[in-house]
Structure 1
Amino acid sequence: MAAAAGPHHPSEPPITPNTRPKTHPLFSQIRLATISDVPYIHKLIHQMAEFEQLTHLFATTESSLASSLFPTQNPPTPFHSFTVFILETSPNPFPPIQENPNFTPIQKTLILDNPVPDPEKERFWSYGNDVVVSGFVLFFPNYSTFLAKPGFYVEDLFVRECYRRKGLGKMLLSAVAKQAVKMGFGRVEWVVLDWNVNAIRFYEGMGAKVLPEWRICRLTGEALEAYNNTN
């Protein structure tokens, strides 16, 4: 016969699923990406294309990412060209934050009800201590003539499925916004697919205004190449 649980003290409420203490820490870190992160960035972009049902437009290679984001000739200064923040998570603490002249990594500990099951852990293994790459954000400077100030344009923000709805996307976007404020920029902007209701609600919850009256205009592929011979 199984041993019976001891009685609750009269002044203590019974433990229910809603009152059970959260005991599973998820340590998270945002840092500047390096060229060694290109394989992870490539896989994350492909997963994003699958989520957005745009794999037919996916033509990115690790080589093209490396040469455009991390050129060996005249490497760009972070935040003055294409910049990538990598999101890493681990069930174990990260090493102490190291000062960096360009960006000091942001670390945060989330306390969850359950550990995160990550079926792709081995594909995104970053380094020791069970650290995995869980998401990224890619952004670059633009300019607002109405504000007469530069800003940041967020091209991509993506968190792997098993790490969503835990505040990590907000952590990534907040890091970009905080950097914009630090540099005296006037705004951060991005686009969202009109069918992605969850993302729209998420962005509105962060204080962003969704502008339905604007439409994206794009020249690419053959339409762009046609201008090569234009006088």
Structure 2
Amino acid sequence: PRRPPAPAAAGDPSKEQAVVFTRIRLADRFDVPNIHRLIHQMAEFELLTNLFSATESSLTSTLFPSPPLPPFRSFTILILELSHSPIPKSADDDDSNLGFRPILGRIVLKSTVVDPESSTFASPRGNGLVVAGFLLCFPNYSSFMGLPGIYVEDIFVREAWRRLGMGKMMLAAVAGEAARLGCGRVEWCVLDWNENAIAFYNGMGAEVLPQWRICRLTGEELSKFAVD
């Protein structure tokens, strides 16, 4: 079982390094307002706001049915939360009954991070927690391998908290679940102009496949196939 990280040792404050404590957990319907804001920020970052039409209502109805489906067996969202104090493990925050135990960690900061959106992205779980990012994934299948896999549709960290390894933490959480479930692979896409992300994924050991292109039917073109 995972244990909460120990707080930094006491000592000369001038020599202590800033630490932020992290938790990766399953999202629920109470997270939808933050998820909606994060998706919009991601659309702005990717210069694709013209494609953004999600609403809090549509996200709630499609991502969080009742009763909930097992994580990683259907649409699954992981939420990354931060605190400047150690995050206690409480029964209310334990999603292990759903098949995923929250992952606690800590990051030593090289300098203080100023987050101007901390109040906007306050976690619905309270305790001063702030939502810094999210990951959306769902199962797929490789006929060549004859094995199930997991596809990561979205991974996003808010600007104030980038380049601290938080994206890698979320991807590692999915990879760990994929390995535990006996999946053959984890896949995701990256925009060809996002050289920083491509370098980051290569550094993780991921293979970027330049020969593949995404094909998509949507909107009116998709509606043409509707059967009356």
Normalised by the length of structure 2, the TM-score is 0.88
> Is the Cα contact below 8 Å between 1:22 and 1:111 reproduced in 2?
no
**What's the offset of the Cα at 1:97?**
5.9
Corresponding position of 1:6: none
Corresponding position of 1:17: none
CA deviation string 1:19-55 (max 9, x = no partner): x956101001100001100001000000000000000
CA deviation string 1:155-191 (max 9, x = no partner): 0000001100001000000000000000000000011
- For structure 1, which segment, 36-45 or 221-230, has the greater mean C-alpha deviation from structure 2 after superposition? 221-230
Tell me which amino acid in the other structure corresponds to 2:149: G
Corresponding position of 1:221: 219
In structure 2, stretches of 5+ residues that fail to align are 1-13
Corresponding position of 2:74: 81
In structure 1, stretches of 5+ residues that fail to align are 1-19
- Identity across matched positions, percent: 58
Corresponding position of 1:69: 63
Secondary structure in 2 aligned to 1:228?
Answer: coil
Corresponding position of 1:56: 50
- For structure 1, which segment, 124-133 or 193-202, has the greater mean C-alpha deviation from structure 2 after superposition? 124-133
- For structure 1, which segment, 210-219 or 221-230, has the greater mean C-alpha deviation from structure 2 after superposition? 221-230
Match of 1:120 among 108, 117, 121: 117
Distance in 1 between the 2:40 and 2:75 partners?
Answer: 19
Distance in 2 between the 1:174 and 1:97 partners?
Answer: 23
Tell me which amino acid in the other structure corresponds to 2:198: I
Match of 2:206 among 202, 205, 208: 208
Tell me which amino acid in the other structure corresponds to 1:103: F
Corresponding position of 1:168: 166
CA deviation string 1:132-176 (max 9, x = no partner): 000000000000001100000000000001100001000000000
Provide the aligned length of Structure 1 versus Structure 2: 210
Distance in 2 between the 1:125 and 1:198 partners?
Answer: 28
> Is the Cα contact below 8 Å between 1:22 and 1:112 reproduced in 2?
no
Q: How does 1:177-192 map to 2 (within 5 A)?
A: 177-192=175-190
> Is the Cα contact below 8 Å between 1:151 and 1:185 reproduced in 2?
yes
Tell me which amino acid in the other structure corresponds to 2:159: E
Distance in 2 between the 1:108 and 1:84 partners?
Answer: 18
Corresponding position of 1:136: 134
Corresponding position of 1:110: 107
Distance in 1 between the 2:58 and 2:222 partners?
Answer: 19
2:41 is the counterpart of 1:47: yes
**What's the offset of the Cα at 1:115?**
2.3
CA deviation string 1:98-145 (max 9, x = no partner): 551311100111111222100011110114432100000000000000
Match of 2:32 among 38, 41, 44: 38
Normalised by the length of structure 1, the TM-score is 0.87
Tell me which amino acid in the other structure corresponds to 1:81: S
Match of 2:149 among 137, 143, 151: 151
Secondary structure in 2 aligned to 1:116?
Answer: coil
Tell me which amino acid in the other structure corresponds to 2:102: P
Distance in 1 between the 2:129 and 2:164 partners?
Answer: 17
> Is the Cα contact below 8 Å between 1:84 and 1:139 reproduced in 2?
yes
- For structure 1, which segment, 105-114 or 62-71, has the greater mean C-alpha deviation from structure 2 after superposition? 105-114
